[in-house]
């Protein structure tokens, strides 16, 4: 069984910062993900969007980091969204109760 290595790619658009997340987001990848978010989470000039369409797995550590980013963005009153959520990960977000807080898209962003 092949496990896809965790990767974060940042794309800066006119009105948003897009982080493309791929692979397995678990304890081993948490530091990489946290560093990628820390670099942009406090920027209020653009919406922050996590594109998780190629995320194959997330554990409680990864969910905790997403929740932390959500809280920071909420305190800053800055737009935050998670989009292209795979069905298995969506079920986890639903079970943890965070789905309602993750805007699946932000108007006017690509």
pLDDT of residue 8: 98
Residue 49 CB contacts under 8 Å (≥ 6 apart), including other chains: 16, 17, 18, 19, 80, 81, 82, 83, 106, 109
pTM score = 0.89
Per-residue pLDDT tens digits for 38-77:
999 999 999 999 999 999 999 999 999 999 999 999 999 9
Q: How far is CA 5 from CA 8, 32, 64, in A?
A: 10, 11, 20
In which band, very low, low, confident or very high, does the pLDDT at 109 lie, cut at 50, 70 and 90? very low
pLDDT digits (tens, 9 = 90+) for 86-108: 999 999 999 999 988 887 655 44
pLDDT of 1 reads 52
Distance CA 24, CA 22 (A): 7
Query: What is the pLDDT averaged over residues 9-30?
Result: 97
Which of 89, 97, 19, 86 has the alpha carbon at shortest distance from 59? 89
Average pLDDT (2-17) is 91
């Amino acid at each position: 069984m092949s496990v896809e290595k965790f990767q974060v790619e940042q794309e800066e658009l006119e009105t948003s910062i897009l982080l493309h997340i791929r692979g397995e987001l678990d304890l081993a990848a948490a530091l990489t993900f946290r560093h990628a978010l820390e670099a942009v989470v406090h920027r209020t000039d653009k919406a922050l969007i996590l594109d998780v369409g190629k995320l194959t797995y997330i554990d409680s550590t990864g969910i905790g980091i997403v929740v932390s980013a959500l809280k920071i963005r909420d305190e800053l009153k800055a737009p935050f969204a998670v989009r292209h959520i795979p069905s298995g990960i969506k079920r986890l977000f639903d079970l943890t109760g965070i789905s309602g807080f993750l805007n699946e898209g932000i108007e006017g962003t690509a």
